[in-house]
Amino acid sequence: MTRRLVYVVFNFDDRLHEYADEYQKQIEAFLASASPPGVEVVLDIKSSFHAASLQRDGA
C-alpha cells in the first residue's frame, strides 16, 4: 500500500524561533482535526538554514 507524506518547512516571522515551541503545539492541535485523510504530515519547525534565505545583500 502506498503511503503519502507531506513534509512542511516553516519559516516563521519569528526568525529566532523564540515562540517556535508554542507554534508547534498550536500547529499539531490544528492538524489533528484539519489534516486530509490518507496523508501523513511531517513538521520542520526550526528550519536550519532559514537565515540563509533571508540574506538579501549581494556583498
Of the candidates 36, 31, 34, 43, which has an alpha carbon nearest to the alpha carbon of residue 7?
43
Q: Interface with another protein includes 20 (CB under 8 A)?
A: no
Q: Interface with another protein includes 14 (CB under 8 A)?
A: yes
Q: Interface with another protein includes 21 (CB under 8 A)?
A: no
Residues in contact with 20: Cβ distance below 8 Å, sequence separation at least 6, in sequence order? 12, 14, 45, 46
Radius of gyration of the chain (CA): 14
> What is the smallest separation between the CB atom of 8 and another protein, expressed in angstroms?
5
Residues that bind another protein (CB under 8 A): 1-15, 18-19, 22-23, 26-27, 30-31, 34-36, 38-39, 41-42, 44, 47-59
